[in-house]
Chain A
Amino acid sequence: RKEVEQDPGPFNVPEGATVAFNCTYSNSASQSFFWYRQDCRKEPKLLMSVYSSGNEDGRFTAQLNRASQYISLLIRDSKLSDSATYLCVVNKGGGSYIPTFGRGTSLIVHP
């Protein structure tokens, strides 16, 4: 099993749609989880941290399921500007703070 696994997509959705991405991780000792977005040939930018109880930031909701070792990102009311690659990032844990990146899920929002 890959350390951090994501469906590469692309997810092709119309404006206003709700879309959800999942990410699974293999190390049960992982303690920190993040979603980043990356535009083509640009740096990753933090979208949101993922907390155990789940958290919301505007149109974005992140959830963590430790038992099944996955995190999710829900985007409501998609905008054209949401088109990007969404990177799941999981810190290794177990004494290591090194983040492991997934390959990303590509989202295309069309008019």
Chain B
Amino acid sequence: EPEVTQTPSHQVTQMGQEVILRCVPISNHLYFYWYRQILGQKVEFLVSFYNNEISEKSEIFDDQFSVERPDGSNFTLKIRSTKLEDSAMYFCASRGQGQVQPQHFGDGTRLSIL
């Protein structure tokens, strides 16, 4: 079964540094998402991406965040200047065409900010 893959599985970074989290969505999917989950809390939506542009974003997704689809397969989340509170699990997801299609999640990148 096709799956969403994410790299790295764990990223440790000094506060203030930039990080790039990478995702390879399922190949025939058209909608891409980033979520985060702070330890012990619920999954929170960050941003959705369709047709090479952001379609929706949450309040969390401020100017420190950006997303990119640099080629036909990768989908990246960049955090420009990390803060301690950015420490969380970051999940990428993708889905096919159609509103009722469920999202398929990657196994996440654990981001630890020191």
Binding site for B on A (CB under 8 A): 31-32, 34, 38, 41-46, 49, 87, 91, 96-104
Contact = CB atoms under 8 A, between A and B. Distances in A.
Main DSSP-derived SS at the A contact region: strand
Contacts of B108: 42-43
Contacts, number: 47
Interface of B: 31, 41-45, 48, 55-56, 58, 89, 91, 99-100, 102-108
Contacts of B31: 97
A99 B45 contact: yes
A47 to B, nearest CB: 10
B42 A46 contact: no
Given A98-B56, A103-B41, A103-B42, A31 B48 contact: no
B56 A96 contact: yes
Contacts of B107: 42-43
A97 B102 CA distance: 11
